[in-house]
Amino acid sequence: MNTKATTKNYHDQIKEHWDEQGKVGWKKDEGIDPFFNQFYSEYKQQLGHEVLDVGCGNGRYMVPFVRDGFSVTGLDISQGMLNSAERALTEQNLKARYVIGNSVSLPFENQSFDFVMSIGTIHHNTMDDIKKSFSEIERVLKPKKYFLFMGRSVSDKEFEREVIEDYRDLGLGFTAIDKTGWKKGLVQHYFNGKELQQLGEQNGFEVIIEPHEQIRVTKKGQDEIQTSRIWIVYRKV
């Protein structure tokens, strides 16, 4: 395993990046993912009432829950993204709670939620902070309740990057800083299924839906770009 020193204030950089994205309407018109839709239609009745979205972004995954009468809290490190979530839901006459915070230290009581989702968020952390985030989610979730996760996958080839923490010799993923593109300079972790299974086991979760990798190939000029994401659903033991 190799690690390089990470920029100390990388969470500030992430916050600034997403504050800017909040201003330009990141994925404002993008719908929600088919994996989520299938999960939601199958598990909706078993999820309970109090829902937390860790890294809610523009709130698009909060919408179905609020529409269906769940009590929903969106948490985000970026006030800009929280504002864009609140604007989007208010335009649709939907009410939710919006809380500023960091996944590594959630500002909630133990066992205060029935369902937690974190979609495209926890990968914006180094491994130490990913572990803290999993432990925090376990803490705020009630026993036997579900946690849905999505993050970047090791097979992602969107942009050139420099690896700063390498766990591949252990059969796991790596943390890197993008060298080009819209996330240039940002820390992101790239997961594989084994790593997500381990993180679950080490933090008091059992796997309910096995890791599911989603690969998209798009053309950009002459180049083919591969974006890969990985989904998993856990239940607190």
Residue 40 or 168: which CB sits closer to ligand SAM?
40
| DSSP summary character for residue 221 | T
Which neighbouring-strand residues pair with 190?
174
Task: State the minimum distance, in angstroms, from the CB of residue 102 to ligand SAM.
Answer: 4
Task: State the minimum distance, in angstroms, from the CB of residue 129 to ligand SAM.
Answer: 7
Residue 48 or 120: which CB sits closer to ligand SAM?
120
- Residues engaged in binding ligand SAM (CB under 6 A): 14, 18, 54-58, 60-61, 76-78, 81, 102-103, 119-121, 124-125
Residue 212 or 237: which CB sits closer to ligand SAM?
212
Half-sphere exposure of 220 (CA within 13 A, CB side): 10
Task: State the minimum distance, in angstroms, from the CB of residue 19 to ligand SAM.
Answer: 8
CA separation (Å) from 154 to 78, 129, 194?
A: 26, 18, 11
CA separation (Å) from 27 to 61, 151, 173, 195?
A: 12, 17, 27, 28
In the chain the first and final C-alpha atoms are separated, in Å, by: 30
Tokens of 66: 């609020």
Residue 2 or 180: which CB sits closer to ligand SAM?
180
Task: State the minimum distance, in angstroms, from the CB of residue 92 to ligand SAM.
Answer: 15
Half-sphere exposure of 44 (CA within 13 A, CB side): 13
For ligand SAM, the nearest residue by Cβ is 57
